[in-house]
Amino acid sequence: MARSKWVGCSLLVALVLAIGFVRADQDDEDGPGPTAVNKNGYEVEERSTNRLPIDPATLFDSVSLTEASPVPGLLPAPQVQMRGINDQANDAALDNIQIFPRFRPFIFYTQSETSIAGSGRNIVATYNSTADSVLTLTPSGLVYDHSFYNGYSVSHDGGLSWTSGSFPPVPGSIFTNGDPSIDVDRQGHFYFAGLGTDAAFRNTVQVNTSTDGGYSWSDAIVVQQDDGSDKEWIAVGRDPVAGNRDNVYVTWTSFQSAGSELRFSRSFDGGHTWETKTIFAPTTDPNPAHPQNFVQFSTPYVDQTNGRLYVPFLQLSNGNSDVIRILKSDDAGETFSFINFNVAGAPSPSMLPIVQSGELLDMRSGGVRLGIHAGPFIPGRFGLRQFRQVSRLITQPGFAARNGVLYLAWSNSTSAVFGDPASGSNMLLVRSTDDGATWSSAMQVNPTVAGDKHHVLGALTIDTDPNDVHVSYYTQHADETLDVDMANSHDGGVSFPANRAIRLTSTNFAIPPSVVRLTATTTTNYDREVIPGYALGEYMSIRSFNGAVHALWGDARNLVTHPVNALDPLSGVTHSQTDVVYQKIKAQ
């Protein structure tokens, strides 16, 4: 999830709540184009950007954790073990509530959507955060002093303790906008990619660097000023020719008038300078069931053995099935070609058809989107259901490669119909041992457990040992609560036995109230800086380094109580809220 690009023109007009919002960013030459895809007659919002400047806890309980299986009555294999306990990575003391006369309280309590990387004893956990947002009441109304949405926590003792902060913005800017992605080079230098604005309130893809293990960070460097930018991702790895040099790559979606396109940038000098181009800009297809001019959710990856660069992404159709595609480059992004899946009946050999997970829901002010939910519903628009407890879903490919062995994982609906309210979802995986020339059949990696309906927002990593493949995901149970689980293979992804799956969360949790009715036509999130429907974030993170797997996710076990306020529909209500939780796992 990224922060919305609705920002103010200056400090005094950045936000005037009594009047509404002023859009201050200037469009590209063509301007950001449509961000919704027509899916079976519904306009489904596909832009990840969800954060609003503002719309019209308890401390974490670190309890001892014993190994538990997602399968009731089954103990995990002894080779799969927790190291330490669930630990809250973000500093709860930074959460804040601001109260002003004549306004509903501002609950800045959301940390979720995670990315993690490590080198030696240094680990950097990154996430979206509303905690570093400060409003000021002026004669002109409420305005932002600043709002830095790109948050991080750094550990210098291998994850035993954490210090939290916010990534510096572009010089002169008062906003960073989220979608965290972090990676590290072989020298231990960290690179963080996120969205933001420049000093003129124009939208940017930007990168911060740390050369001292995460103790300090550079000001954000603009990779590209792009008002259509969304869902950037970073990858760092060896150059395919100059093997001693690590390159930094960033991809993102750019929404333009003709649709969305996949943009790519690279740096050969440690993130100081960047070369940028568009690498894929699909056109419309007269067949609505075929993929159209919309791409999203790219996740670049570098094979560290040979420097080959892969860019998986999603291309959307107007029908039930969308497709995953993978671009490959052997010359550091100078040229790209598609990898073929050769699926019978697919519109192209390079297309892997999937059906995205989740029910199609009316999130009102948050748009029509896929999501999971809890609690009762009310009738929404277009014959869809509307829930108060909602977390929106995306399908972002999980990908890894080593020496020509490729792994691809995603969450897939159990229904052939997009947004089917009766559907469940499972984490699926395909693998190739010949650099994508041939692929295995898709296999379910999560154990089948009665009552567990959804397995979503997955992440994938591989160990130095090529036999070890790990896939983490949220599991939603019959009682509508959630846990985080991890499936593990010790035969190179050929199988994921049930006894090698492990539950990462020490307690389940409820979805926060993210779609709260204000009027018959408007809704709010409990955290008013976040658009309705956003709760757990749009992805979690797992990475393998230093002989262990390191997991980071948005977790809603902690609570917040709203101040009593007649204007607040949640006045005095105590409910779940999201923090970032870290867990180390040994899985061999």
pLDDT tens digit sequence for 273-285 = 999 999 999 999 9
Q: In this structure, are residues 325 and 354 in contact, taking their beta carbons and an 8 Å threshold?
A: no
User: Which pair of structure tokens corresponds to residue 363?
Assistant: 């999130």
Size of the chain, expressed as the number of residues it contains:
588
How many of the other CB atoms lie within 10 Å of CB of 436? 20
Q: Can you tell me the distance from the alpha carbon of 308 to that of 62, in angstroms, rounded to the nearest whole number?
A: 41
What is the dotted CATH code of the domain comprising 2-587?
2.120.10.10
pLDDT tens digit sequence for 333-354 = 999 999 999 999 999 999 999 9
| Sequence spans of domains, the chain | 2-587
Q: Is the pTM of this model over 0.85?
A: yes
Nearest of 409, 398, 374, 314 to residue 535 by alpha carbon: 374
Farthest-apart Cα atoms in the chain, separation: 66
| Residue carrying structure tokens 């559907």 | 423
- Give percent above pLDDT 90 in the chain: 87
Q: How far is CA 171 from CA 175, 191, 197, 198, 277, in A?
A: 10, 18, 10, 7, 24
pLDDT tens digit sequence for 379-436 = 999 999 999 999 999 999 999 999 999 999 999 999 999 999 999 999 999 999 999 9
Q: Can you tell me the distance from the alpha carbon of 182 to that of 208, in angstroms, rounded to the nearest whole number?
A: 9
Helix, strand, or coil here: 89?
coil
> Tens of pLDDT along the chain (588 residues)?
765 433 333 333 333 332 222 222 222 334 467 888 898 888 888 887 666 544 332 233 333 446 799 999 999 999 999 999 999 999 999 999 999 999 999 999 999 999 999 999 999 999 999 999 999 999 989 999 999 999 999 999 999 999 999 999 999 999 999 999 999 999 999 999 999 999 999 999 999 999 999 999 999 999 999 999 999 999 999 999 999 999 999 999 999 999 999 999 999 999 999 999 999 999 999 999 999 999 999 999 999 999 999 999 999 999 999 999 999 999 999 999 999 999 999 999 999 999 999 999 999 999 999 999 999 999 999 999 999 999 999 999 999 999 999 999 999 999 999 999 999 999 999 999 999 999 999 999 999 999 999 999 999 999 988 799 999 999 999 999 999 999 999 999 999 999 999 999 999 999 999 999 999 999 999 999 999 999 999 999 999 999 999 999 999 999 999 999 999 999 999 999 999 999 999 998
Q: Can you tell me the distance from the alpha carbon of 98 to that of 40, in angstroms, rounded to the nearest whole number?
A: 42
DSSP secondary structure string for all residues of 420-487? -TT--EEEEEEEESSTTSS-PPPEE-SPP-TT--EEEEEEEEE-SSTT-EEEEEEEE-TTS-EEEEEE
Q: Can you tell me the distance from the alpha carbon of 374 to that of 366, in angstroms, rounded to the nearest whole number?
A: 17
